[in-house]
Structure 1
Amino acid sequence: MCERCCPGFEQKKWQPTTAHNNFTCEPCNCFGRSDECVYDEDVFVNRLSLDIHGNYEGGGRCLNCRDHTEGVNCNKCVFGYYRPKGVRWNDTMPCKPCACDPNKHTEDCEEETGKCYCQPRFEGENCDKCAKGYYDPPECKKCECAVEGTVGDVCLPENGQCPCKPGFGGTFCETCEPGFTNVTAGCKGNLN
């Protein structure tokens, strides 16, 4: 008489077979990416584990997923990989590496498309434009404008020029123009 399920067959919590309950251990659904799993009560309660019948029933959690996968059912790609649209989890090698430029992109990409995510200083379809607060593509350097003296709080993306509010001056709109005083109060005009 068994007192536990065999390794890899722990989708459901073991219970003794009785006259009214014919319990059968069930394999975990790891999509062929792992032979190891454990029963996890939290996974069961939150209905996170997909069983071999396609239902979110049981608490099987796969361990040591292979082929760049992770997750309860080895059904997520690890950081830096994505699953192309139309590829099923049980296909051979479902996760493909992201093809991102480390100078412009993060190392991760969008599920299904493989589109790379831009680093914070870039934007645009191909991360080839400077984001707000940066200038001088393709490098995209951080703007150095004084926020309180600059129109729109940032520099112009093409050349880094800081468009100053009336009364402000200097390369970064950090000073008052002649005839204006008190930068912290907004460069007010002198009343003579």
Structure 2
Amino acid sequence: MITVAACLALTAAALTAAPPAGAVSKAVAPAPDPSICKMAGGYYQNHLDPQYFYTCDLAYRPTLAKCPGDLWFNEDPDVVVCDLPENVRAYGTGGTVATQQARLRKLPLKVIGLSATLNPGIVGEKVTFTSYGNVTLCTATAVAISRDKATATCDSQGALGDLGATLDGLLRGYKVTVANDPRTATGTIALL
């Protein structure tokens, strides 16, 4: 972990370094942006990349800064530091990158190994796995596996309903949806 003050000192040092020869720089004060700066003088994670964060001045003007190394900005009000990715809730939409083939066990009817690899912006969000017959198979919470990826995995639980109708929907595959994200991804299910 590294404190926000240390992060800002590193960022300030980088910003005050001499520009490359021939470069023209023009300092322009950022416009006030209350969609980023929810409070004057606050610190907020960049929702597109959790390695970056905004420092907001008293006029609600954001300035972008970056955590050192592979650290992510943790805007938890009890912490507010650059922290290890596994300690940070990343925000934003995200989306599904890939799915893996799940397996269908016949008796009792159960789907094993439902999995989705996700963008890091949805860490902490609810991920729902459904059949093409719109049967909810299971839900999981997305967790970070690296700076660039998150994952959600689960197995179906309990009875999956009418065997004939359910089996047809299951053999067509599964869909993955993330809370508050209209996009979906699909995966396949193999019969064991």
- TM-score under structure 1 normalisation? 0.29
- TM-score under structure 2 normalisation? 0.29
Query: Whose helix fraction is larger, Structure 1's or Structure 2's?
Result: 2
- Higher normalized contact order (CA 8 Å, seq sep 6+, divided by chain length): 2
